[in-house]
Amino acid sequence: MIADILVAGLGPAGRALAHRATVAGLSVVAIDKNPKRAWTATYGAWLDELPPWLPGATIAARAPQPVAWGHRRHTIDRTYVVLDTPALQRHLSLGNATVVQGSIEQLDPGGTRLASGEHLRARLVVDARGIPRSPRSAEQTAYGVLVPAATARILLDGASALFMDWRAPRRSGGVTPSFLYAVPVGGGRWLLEETCLAGRPALGIGELRQRLHDRLAGRGIDLDGTEPTETVRFPLRPPRGFVPAGVLGFGARGGLGHPATGYSVAASMRAADAVAAAVLQRSDPARALHSWRSRAVSALRAKGLASLLALPPSEVAGFFDVFFELPPAQQRAYLSGREDLAGLTAAMTALFARVPSSTRARLARSVLTG
Ligand SMILES: Cc1cc2nc3c(=O)[nH]c(=O)nc-3n(C[C@H](O)[C@H](O)[C@H](O)COP(=O)(O)OP(=O)(O)OC[C@H]3O[C@@H](n4cnc5c(N)ncnc54)[C@H](O)[C@@H]3O)c2cc1C
């Protein structure tokens, strides 16, 4: 039998698509090297980015109006959430899909060949295998520790969470900047994560660990080394032409990740129903997924990534001061949503007009040459 959809890769994107396709009544074959791998990453998102079908029980913690710091403090008028990763994985159940454990050797519009020699076929083949690392790709890196709420509170100055704190930790001047991300993760615990938003190469984990320790020590917090930790390293954009012709790219591999923030989990979950509906209606799933608007938004955001990479360390905090002073709708257009071309253009134009002239010149150069 030929399945309606074959989903290659069961990370958050592939699993969300496979799950929603079965909910829509489609027959699904889903393949992963290790389909039973328990996810451990801490996934955050803006509440308004999540798809309406995702139950509240998959949210571990909410932070209304989190704070961002450049040189100044900014309150963001949105609710940020941290997902309950095991609950999310459980909710995206694959009970009605045929799940195959195997390593995909070849993927084409007709189906796939696994390393075991097995062939699987489907009407629509989806490539959700994520993005492998490459020295040519900009990456995001981070190092975090889980601490009790009382410890985190020392850093928060009353904030519900710190989405980004670009104030420099001690001893990190003059090199690639990093910021502190401090969010509740449920159960009275907080994640404090020193993050390199984008770098080619990105800051190493050892450097980030040192900066986090320095930053916390500067606020009187000494870690004893027994705290659970999280390390983050992932490429921000797939190389061009990465998905085989005639196959639908989905998730990070399909360009659903935000090139300048690395966020993809909410956008992928939100896009799953459009693909399932297109298969059900026998319309073009690629069209359902990528309108001309979303392609333009993605191209502009890629310019945003080039601009970020071009900024000297001394200008980064000031850049984010200007960003977080934009009207909330423009911030949202830049950070979230894949279709709001008018909002994104307005945000980028306003940003360009308001940054200091030295930053403006650099941004212009990176946009023209990037
Ligand atoms: C610690 C950490 C924290 C993060 N925090 C956030 C966050 O707060 N918010 C956010 O949006 N993003 C976050 N990210 C980024 C996010 O994890 C990725 O963008 C996301 O996982 C991409 O999902 P995906 O399903 O597209 O790909 P992946 O998660 O990379 O999944 C790809 C799947 O394909 C399988 N696969 C690959 N090749 C083959 C093959 N040849 N054969 C069979 N199977 C294969 C893999 O086993 C894997 O299961 C974080 C990442 C890390 C590491």
Q: Provide the pLDDT for residue 307.
A: 85
3-state secondary structure of 109: coil
Q: Which residue has the higher pLDDT, 198 or 145?
A: 145
Do 50 and 184 fall into the same domain? yes
C-beta of residue 57 within 8 angstroms of C-beta of residue 87:
yes
Helix %, strand %, coil % of the chain (to 5): 35, 25, 40
C-beta of residue 70 within 8 angstroms of C-beta of residue 80:
no
Whole-number percent of the chain with pLDDT over 90: 82
Domain count, the chain: 3
Q: Provide the pLDDT for residue 171.
A: 52
Do 249 and 364 fall into the same domain? no
Q: Provide the pLDDT for residue 170.
A: 55
Residue 13 has pLDDT above 90, yes or no: yes
3-state secondary structure of 301: helix
Residue 370 has pLDDT above 80, yes or no: no
Question: Per-residue pLDDT averaged across 251-272, rounded?
Answer: 95
Q: Provide the pLDDT for residue 325.
A: 96
Do 279 and 346 fall into the same domain? no
Q: Please say which residue of 219, 236, 253 terminates a domain.
A: 236
Q: Provide the pLDDT for residue 152.
A: 97
Do 177 and 195 fall into the same domain? yes
Residue 277 has pLDDT above 60, yes or no: yes
Q: Which of 176, 172, 168 is nearest to 200 (CA)?
A: 176
Do 73 and 176 fall into the same domain? yes
Q: Provide the pLDDT for residue 1.
A: 76
- Write the residue with the smallest CA distance to atom 39 of ligand 1: 129
Do 45 and 152 fall into the same domain? yes
Q: Please say which residue of 204, 220, 236 terminates a domain.
A: 236
User: For residue range 27-57, what is the model confidence (pLDDT) as tens digits?
Assistant: 999 999 999 999 999 999 999 999 999 999 9
Across the strands, what pairs with 186? Answer: 189
C-beta of residue 162 within 8 angstroms of C-beta of residue 155:
yes
Do 193 and 144 fall into the same domain? yes
Do 164 and 304 fall into the same domain? no
Q: Provide the pLDDT for residue 367.
A: 72
DSSP string spanning 116-157? TS-EEEEEEEEE-------TTS-EEEEEEEEEEHHHHHHHHT
Q: Which of 205, 229, 214, 206 is nearest to 139 (CA)?
A: 205
Do 116 and 246 fall into the same domain? yes
Q: Provide the pLDDT for residue 294.
A: 94
Taking the CA of residue 40 as reference, the ligand 1 atom at the shortest distance is: 1
- Write the residue with the smallest CA distance to atom 48 of ligand 1: 11
Domain containing 281: what range? Answer: 1-35+94-129+239-290
User: For residue range 171-182, what is the model confidence (pLDDT) as tens digits?
Assistant: 555 578 899 999
Do 2 and 114 fall into the same domain? yes
Instruction: Tell me, in angstroms, the distance from the centre of ligand 1 to residue 72's CA.
Output: 33
| Peptide bond before residue 201 is cis, with ω within 30 degrees of 0 | yes
Residue 168 has pLDDT above 90, yes or no: no
**CATH number of the domain enclosing 183:** 3.90.660
Do 67 and 165 fall into the same domain? yes
Ligand 1 pocket mutation, candidates 84, 106, 264, 336, criterion most atoms within 8 A of CB: 264
Kindly indicate the confidence band of residue 334, based on its pLDDT and cuts at 50, 70 and 90: very high
User: For residue range 49-103, what is the model confidence (pLDDT) as tens digits?
Assistant: 999 999 999 999 999 999 999 999 999 999 999 999 999 999 999 999 999 999 9
Q: Which of 10, 40, 47 is nearest to 28 (CA)?
A: 10
Looking at every residue in the chain, the average pLDDT score rounds to 94
Give the contacts of 254 (CB within 8 A, at least 6 positions apart): 13, 127, 128, 238, 243, 248, 289
Inter-CA distances, 274 with 127, 135, 226, 284, 328, Å: 16, 33, 45, 10, 27
Ligand 1 touching residue 255 (CB < 6 A) = no
